[in-house]
Chains A and B, each alone.
Chain A
């Protein structure tokens, strides 16, 4: 046995180095300044080992890619909501970044009680739906898709109309476009929200609820991401006509970087592999000023390291909109410089 020990040690070291190298393989520009970096997690709050394993990857990457805040796409807390649950399902797994002062901005999922809005670390200011502007020219809107009543719709229209030519990101729990077999697209919600998104030039929409990753083909010029696999996973559930890229073979989170009129994105699995990445060009300001149905900007993909799940016949009852123009050449490999320490 003794003769094998050095060999095993070398193997372990090699495995650790390989994992570390994979974790550092950022495809994002990771500029030291003049960009806005943020992260997205969805359906995270199980408190189990799967959430913790992904949370470790998520927090370990922070020193290399210091995201400034995190969006939570709902189902922040499965099951009970005692004080202990808040710790076990949120505060402990994300402690390394919470301790750095990183803010989480939560949306409510169907497993979340409405009073999560009172929890200071979710930064909801006591509201079911809210907006925030982390820097000039970029605005986020968090919605409560469990209960899309008239006051919320009126509020959204008012806020969107006042947001001018900002980058506009809307996030909520239930996807209005999805290739999921279990849930699929919430068409009733789409009927209410999509006209507002189009009218006021929303750029990107995030949703959870489906326990997988999906980047959809742009729908009427809007980019949709589903990211509901930070604590739950439904293998073999995704794939269909809407899908541009999908992944349902592991847990994941997303990283984003806004660099002027470009949005860089990267989805990373619990195995520290990049499952999707690319660049989205912002819609022209003219489109926002005179909204009609603008053409979808192209997405430049970066080749993934993990093999995404194959497309399956669509289980949705509705048809996708015309696909975006064909994807173009892959973005250049990351030449990221080490980010400064926060």
Chain B
């Protein structure tokens, strides 16, 4: 009982089609997303950056839970100062190997520079945004560009315009973007330390 030749041909076509379909279902590298796709081309980099930030926050939370003095609402400012410094010290001790670029990796930095171009590049809005940052931002010499360094209390924190904050990857509570000159800081507002920094971030 041999089957006719056309049956074999149809079966072969079906196998080929299934094979092709299976090949297309493979995960897509976000960096190779074709133009016109709805997928954010930076999704992979953003996810990587967020993962690193989340790891830092987990470390910070762990340090906080182990702290002898809680950083909570206090009547005595001295207790706030002690708790903040104690938290910063604990974070430092758990990040002894941390270095610049751990969170702002080279690939992430390239993405940030790209993202910062529309709100801070050229045009009236960009000029306004830059003026707002420049208005309050400390000069680079006023801030220590060292991972885990304390942010000087006597130095103002730069205002970061909403346009910039709505453009950059969202951050968890108490982790903030701040500027010093043209440089971008990743700042822990709770422990008052520099988590990481990116030089010449501003276009």
Contacts of B201 in A (CB 8 A): none
8 Å CB contacts to B: which residues of A260-298? Answer: none
> Would you give the 0/1 interface string for B57-99, flagging 1 where the beta carbon is closer than 8 Å to chain A?
0000000000000011111111011011000000000000000
8 Å CB contacts to B: which residues of A189-210? Answer: 189, 191-192
Residue B117, interface by CB 8 Å: no
Residue A19, interface by CB 8 Å: no
The smallest beta-carbon distance between B64 and chain A, in angstroms, is 13
- When chains A and B are docked, how far (Å) is the Cα of A80 from the Cα of B171? 27
- When chains A and B are docked, how far (Å) is the Cα of A274 from the Cα of B12? 94
Known A81-B153, A146-B157, A150-B170: A189·B162 in contact at CB below 8 Å: yes
Contacts of A85 in B (CB 8 A): 77
Contacts of A183 in B (CB 8 A): 135
> Would you give the 0/1 interface string for B146-185, flagging 1 where the beta carbon is closer than 8 Å to chain A?
0000000110111111110110001101101000000000
8 Å CB contacts to B: which residues of A108-122? Answer: 110-111, 113-115, 118-121
Residue B136, interface by CB 8 Å: yes
- When chains A and B are docked, how far (Å) is the Cα of A83 from the Cα of B74? 12
> Would you give the 0/1 interface string for B122-141, flagging 1 where the beta carbon is closer than 8 Å to chain A?
00010011001001100000
CB within 8 A of A186: which of B77, B78, B132? B132
Contacts of B129 in A (CB 8 A): 188
Complex contact A80–B153 (CB within 8 A): yes
The smallest beta-carbon distance between B120 and chain A, in angstroms, is 11
The smallest beta-carbon distance between B17 and chain A, in angstroms, is 45
Known A115-B192, A188-B162: A81·B72 in contact at CB below 8 Å: no
Known: A115-B71, A118-B73. 8 other contacts (CB 8 A): A79-B154, A110-B157, A148-B162, A149-B165, A149-B171, A188-B132, A191-B163, A192-B162
Complex contact A149–B162 (CB within 8 A): yes
Contacts of B71 in A (CB 8 A): 115, 118
Q: Which residues of B contact A (CB under 8 A)?
A: 71-78, 80-81, 83-84, 125, 128-129, 132, 135-136, 153-154, 156-163, 165-166, 170-171, 173-174, 176, 189-190, 192
7 A-B pairs (CB sep. < 8 Å): A83-B77, A110-B157, A113-B157, A114-B157, A149-B170, A183-B135, A187-B128
Contacts of B190 in A (CB 8 A): 114-115
Known A114-B189, A115-B189, A149-B170: A120·B73 in contact at CB below 8 Å: yes
Complex contact B165–A147 (CB within 8 A): yes
Contacts of B157 in A (CB 8 A): 110, 113-114, 146
> Would you give the 0/1 interface string for A88-125, flagging 1 where the beta carbon is closer than 8 Å to chain B?
00000000000000000000001101110011110001
- Which chain B residue shows the least CB distance to A87? B77
